Structure 1
Amino acid sequence: MSTLPYSEAPPMAPVVPRRRRRLRLSGSLLAALGFVILISAWFAAVRFLKVPAYILPAPEAVVRALWSGLAVSPTSPMGYYLPLWGSLKNAALGFLIGTGLGIFLGSLMAEIRTVEKMLMPYAFALQSLPKVAIAPLIVIWFGFGDGSKIAISALLAFFPVLINSFTGLRSVEPEKLDLMRSLSASRLETYWLVKLPHAAPFIFAGLDMAVVYALLGTIVAEFLGAQQGMGVVITQAQAVTDVAGVFAALVILGAMGILLHTLVRRLELKVVHWGNRGSK
């Protein structure tokens, strides 16, 4: 039996990209199907079950509320653009501060046992505190301006990144560490070349949660007192029993959550191209 030379063998590499495209397409179709089912159930509950509008407004009422806030100038105080920008700005700053501290302290605790024993109990104690209960205290400390929003946002984003960074750095295989010691690598070189790449999928899993928590923390702080922001929009709509307006603001926040999650996942696919999560 004659066989083809290795150089003439049919290429197999394109199979993987095609499979990934099929998986992405099937995932998109399932997401679209879930959206259609959700809207259909919502429509049926309003029309056939006669759910009152003050409990569940009709989908078309929410669309009208969305359109009234989006079909305006981006600089108009009557639209959603300025409040959304204010919330996203504070959430982004809180996210950067919280995740930066989380990675830094997680790395210190993973590298130095003494630091772990000193800080880890207090990190868990801080996480166990109900954030809604301590939010008024943070507002007292930082005021009703952007400071309190950034502080609560950073606080919510801090813990998942801290724990994931610590777990990822501590889970490096001993064989890799032994290899770096045999090569006389410094502690910093071992951290940068072995530990941090290994921990990258764990860190991005923490970032995926933290980016949504940061936005949530900003909204919670805006409920307690602010001049602008999506939390203020929701509070004002509740004050006049504009349930459709509340739903419209929630739809925008949900869309922002999906967008932020997608951005983190895209960044992960670019950075952690060697990991299991990035290959899916």
Structure 2
Amino acid sequence: MWREAAPPLIFVVLLLAAWEAGALWGGLDPLIMPAPSEIGEQLVLGFSSGVYPLHLGVTLAQSLAGFVIAVAMGVGIGALISISPLVERTLNPFLIAFEAMPKIALAPLVIVWFGYGMGSKIVLAAVIAFFPVLVSTILGLRACDPGRLDVMHALGASRGQVFRMVRLPGALPFIFSGVNVAVVFVLLGSIVGEFVGAKAGLGTLILYANENLETARTFSILAMLAALGLLLHFGVAALRQRLLFWAEPRRGTPGH
């Protein structure tokens, strides 16, 4: 584990050291590129005052709610499309049109429809994270091993039994790939919604910091978002490894 984590950690330490040196002796404008030490001070101040935890909790709650909705809808609609040609022919033109449209452009309308509270941010996060789950679900269900399907049909299994025992388990690695992308996209949707109009959240803090030219504070919030995105990503990866251990690729071969 250490061998895998060491290179990125060493790179980050060297990058921060060079950044700090450039800010102290290289003439970097603190209004444009503040020193990492100033960003760290803003992080400590924000958490000690209780402001950062409050707004972080709002953004995290919105993102997780949108994530659950996106996964449920993506898997559900993807399953219907993969097993029903009629549903596919009916929904396909609308899904293609919706996918081609920039989802962020929906933010002002979503705010108008659902208000400035958490509901609009949840909807926007779910909309942006929906398609990675949908596409991965369809691909996974269609990539099922034909041999296993033939065996189930020969045994007289019903369509529901085939789906539950063969198609869905075989599609789970694909679905988790889409879920891993979606868990990062929900943060994007939540922050964009907060930019357009919100009462609380990290997006609102970024807007306030920019209006007051508090660049170090803006960087500290971005650092929180980056850390939150990494935690969500690795959380999904850990869940995938725990649930789909049988699908993990083997490293090396026997005797090596």
Q: Fold-level match, TM-score > 0.5?
A: yes
Match of 2:5 among 16, 19, 28: 28
Alpha-carbon shift at residue 115 of structure 1 (Å) = 1.1
Match of 2:70 among 86, 98, 117: 98
Partner of 1:258: 230
Partner of 2:254: none
Q: Structure 1 residues 37, 124: CA separation in 2 closer, same or farther (over 3 Å shift)?
A: farther
Cα distance in 1 between the residues matched to 2:21 and 2:168: 51
AA matched with 1:33: I
Cα distance in 2 between the residues matched to 1:40 and 1:95: 36
Q: Does 1:71 align with 2:48?
A: yes
**Structure label with greater radius of gyration:** 1
Cα distance in 1 between the residues matched to 2:39 and 2:45: 10
Contact between 2:104 and 2:189, CA under 8 Å: does it hold in 1? no
Cα distance in 2 between the residues matched to 1:217 and 1:236: 19
AA matched with 2:138: F
Q: Which segments of 5 or more consecutive residues in structure 2 lack a partner in the other structure?
A: 252-256
Identity %: 38
Identify the range of structure 1 (40-49 vs 112-121) with the bigger mean alpha-carbon deviation. 40-49
Q: Does 1:207 align with 2:179?
A: yes
Q: Secondary structure at the match of 1:71?
A: helix
Alpha-carbon shift at residue 147 of structure 1 (Å) = 1.4
Q: C-alpha deviations, 1:121-179, integer Å up to 9, x for none?
A: 32222122112222111111111111110110000111000000000000012111101
Match of 2:32 among 43, 52, 55: 55
Alignment of 1:5-154 (within 5 A): 24-72=1-49, 76=50, 79-154=51-126
Partner of 1:188: 160
Q: C-alpha deviations, 1:9-42, integer Å up to 9, x for none?
A: xxxxxxxxxxxxxxx2211112212211321332
Cα distance in 2 between the residues matched to 1:52 and 1:166: 50
Contact between 2:184 and 2:232, CA under 8 Å: does it hold in 1? yes
Cα distance in 1 between the residues matched to 2:69 and 2:135: 16
Contact between 2:136 and 2:175, CA under 8 Å: does it hold in 1? yes
Cα distance in 1 between the residues matched to 2:11 and 2:80: 43
Contact between 2:75 and 2:137, CA under 8 Å: does it hold in 1? yes
Larger relative CO (CA 8 A, sep 6+): 1 or 2? 2
- The TM-score with structure 1 as length reference comes to 0.86
Cα distance in 2 between the residues matched to 1:41 and 1:116: 54
Q: Which segments of 5 or more consecutive residues in structure 1 lack a partner in the other structure?
A: 1-23
Cα distance in 2 between the residues matched to 1:91 and 1:237: 22
User: Which ranges of 4 or more aligned residues in structure 1 deviate by more than 4 Å?
Assistant: none
Alpha-carbon shift at residue 48 of structure 1 (Å) = 4.4
